């Protein structure tokens, strides 16, 4: 819930509060770009470990081509460079759960030579600050998804193209009203769950989460986010929020890397700016661990399930093994130690 996040009264204008660059969701921002750019989209290059619903949406626009994700959730840079050179995609989605391909110098050099290619930095799982933005050319866009970090809906789109103006997009429609209402219900139940520590209420909040997840990004018309959400974001103390997440992540990292099990692995860079802390659990232990922790009232789940309609080219092993642990503002260091202790206990059983 927003009220439970750290606030800052001074407006810091983290990613700009221009209404025409603030969409209801990542998918709406994507549709906004596609509507405005003058490029025929045929080939879209994406990572092989990525959000299945968003992949399904891209598939409506062009053929999906893949670059590889490593076991430690970083991107396999040679496979990325090779894919860009050989496929010559019209759109590239830059994303890695732990690090974007853009962090590599050779990637930046190559993309800089392809000004016609739309490059989208998918920042759905991280908090983006203005200082983080590096543009390789004017068709380079950044999109975040603040519902992954807070109780509000919205996605900032940052670019240098000046192509996107609010008059091109829908400001109000039934999709926006329904999504906002579902988000409100989910957050209200979340807050009650937190206050009364009820498992039954947690189940209810999951229902609204699922409903919203199924609805968000499905509307054909790119829709702008609400002015209120945009303003709330500008008053959140993101530096404090990031520092808290990093502190929790470093405790997870230290404690969990101490567990020596051949079917359990913690990516070494997992203390970066992330929305959830990742670990990999292979084989039957994956489901067993989730079930065991649920009996201890600990929320843990897979990052993404494999899509029900198969998409060839995905890294099935990662979909089956990556689990994520909470890194919310409400999570304390003590909670993290308890989670680690339970995981340790599970593997010792």
Q: Name every residue whose Cβ is closer than 8 Å to that of residue 234 and which is 6 or more positions away in sequence.
A: 11, 12, 13, 14, 17
CB of 143 to ligand PLP, least distance (A): 8
Name which of 57, 28, 66, 60 is nearest 42 in CA terms.
60
Coil, helix or strand at residue 66: strand
Question: Toward ligand PLP, which CB reaches closer, 83 or 303?
Answer: 303
Beta bridge partners of 122: 143
CB of 292 to ligand PLP, least distance (A): 26
CB of 27 to ligand PLP, least distance (A): 4
Name which of 170, 124, 169 is nearest 147 in CA terms.
124
Question: Toward ligand PLP, which CB reaches closer, 145 or 286?
Answer: 145
- Tell me how far apart the alpha carbons of residues 64 and 89 are, in angstroms, rounded to a whole number: 9
CB of 345 to ligand PLP, least distance (A): 30
Beta bridge partners of 120: 93, 141
- Tell me how far apart the alpha carbons of residues 299 and 119 are, in angstroms, rounded to a whole number: 35
Question: Toward ligand PLP, which CB reaches closer, 178 or 255?
Answer: 178
- Tell me how far apart the alpha carbons of residues 309 and 294 are, in angstroms, rounded to a whole number: 28
Helix (H) or strand (E) holding 197: none
Question: Toward ligand PLP, which CB reaches closer, 51 or 152?
Answer: 51
Interacting residues toward ligand PLP by CB under 6 A: 25-27, 50-51, 54, 95, 122, 124-125, 145, 147, 155, 216-217
Question: Toward ligand PLP, which CB reaches closer, 143 or 251?
Answer: 143
CB of 26 to ligand PLP, least distance (A): 3
Instruction: Count Cβ atoms below 10 Å from residue 103 Cβ, excluding itself.
Output: 15
Question: Toward ligand PLP, which CB reaches closer, 58 or 264?
Answer: 58
CB of 170 to ligand PLP, least distance (A): 15
Question: Toward ligand PLP, which CB reaches closer, 98 or 343?
Answer: 98
**Is 151 in contact with 129 (CB distance < 8 Å)?**
no
CB of 300 to ligand PLP, least distance (A): 17
- Tell me how far apart the alpha carbons of residues 189 and 198 are, in angstroms, rounded to a whole number: 10
Question: Toward ligand PLP, which CB reaches closer, 50 or 264?
Answer: 50
Say what the alpha-carbon torsion angle 145, 148, 152, 153 is, to the nearest 10 degrees.
40
Report CA-CA distances (Å) from 307 to 31, 276, 313: 22, 21, 12
Tell me the pairing of strands 43-47 and 91-94.
parallel
Name which of 246, 251, 254, 318 is nearest 282 in CA terms.
318
CB of 109 to ligand PLP, least distance (A): 25
**Is 126 in contact with 274 (CB distance < 8 Å)?**
yes
Helix (H) or strand (E) holding 278: strand 277-281
CA 231 to chain centre: 21
Question: Toward ligand PLP, which CB reaches closer, 100 or 264?
Answer: 100
CB of 316 to ligand PLP, least distance (A): 17
Question: Toward ligand PLP, which CB reaches closer, 50 or 142?
Answer: 50
CB of 95 to ligand PLP, least distance (A): 6
């Amino acid at each position: 819930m927003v009220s439970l996040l750290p606030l800052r009264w001074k407006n810091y204008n983290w990613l700009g509060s221009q209404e025409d660059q603030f969409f209801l969701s990542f998918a709406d921002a994507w549709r906004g770009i596609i509507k405005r750019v003058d490029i025929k989209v045929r080939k879209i290059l994406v990572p092989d470990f990525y959000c299945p619903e968003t992949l399904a949406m891209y598939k409506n626009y062009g053929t999906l081509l893949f670059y590889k994700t490593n076991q430690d959730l970083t991107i396999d840079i040679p496979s990325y460079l090779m894919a860009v050179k050989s496929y010559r995609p019209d759109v590239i989605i830059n994303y890695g759960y732990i690090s974007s391909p853009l962090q590599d110098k050779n990637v930046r050099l190559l993309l800089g030579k392809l000004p016609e290619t739309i490059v989208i930095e998918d920042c759905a799982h991280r908090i983006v600050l203005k200082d983080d933005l590096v543009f390789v050319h004017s068709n380079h866009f950044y999109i975040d998804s603040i519902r992954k970090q807070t109780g509000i809906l919205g996605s900032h789109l940052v670019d240098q193209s000046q192509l996107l103006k609010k008059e091109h997009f829908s400001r109000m429609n039934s999709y926006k009203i329904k999504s906002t209402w579902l988000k409100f219900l989910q957050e209200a139940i979340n807050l009650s769950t937190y206050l009364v520590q009820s498992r039954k209420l947690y189940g209810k909040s999951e229902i609204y989460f699922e409903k919203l997840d199924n609805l968000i990004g499905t509307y054909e018309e790119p829709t702008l986010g609400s002015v209120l959400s945009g303003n709330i974001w500008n008053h959140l103390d993101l530096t404090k929020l990031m520092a808290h997440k990093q502190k929790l992540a470093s405790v997870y990292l230290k404690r969990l890397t101490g567990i020596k099990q051949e079917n359990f692995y913690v990516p070494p860079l997992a203390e970066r700016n992330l929305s959830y802390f990742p670990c990999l659990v292979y084989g039957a232990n994956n489901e067993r661990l989730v079930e065991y922790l649920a009996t201890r009232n600990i929320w843990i789940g897979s990052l993404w399930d494999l899509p029900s309609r198969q998409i060839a080219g995905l890294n099935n092993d990662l979909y089956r093994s990556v689990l994520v642990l909470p890194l919310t503002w409400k999570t304390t260091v003590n909670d993290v130690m308890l989670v680690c202790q339970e995981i340790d206990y599970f593997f010792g059983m």
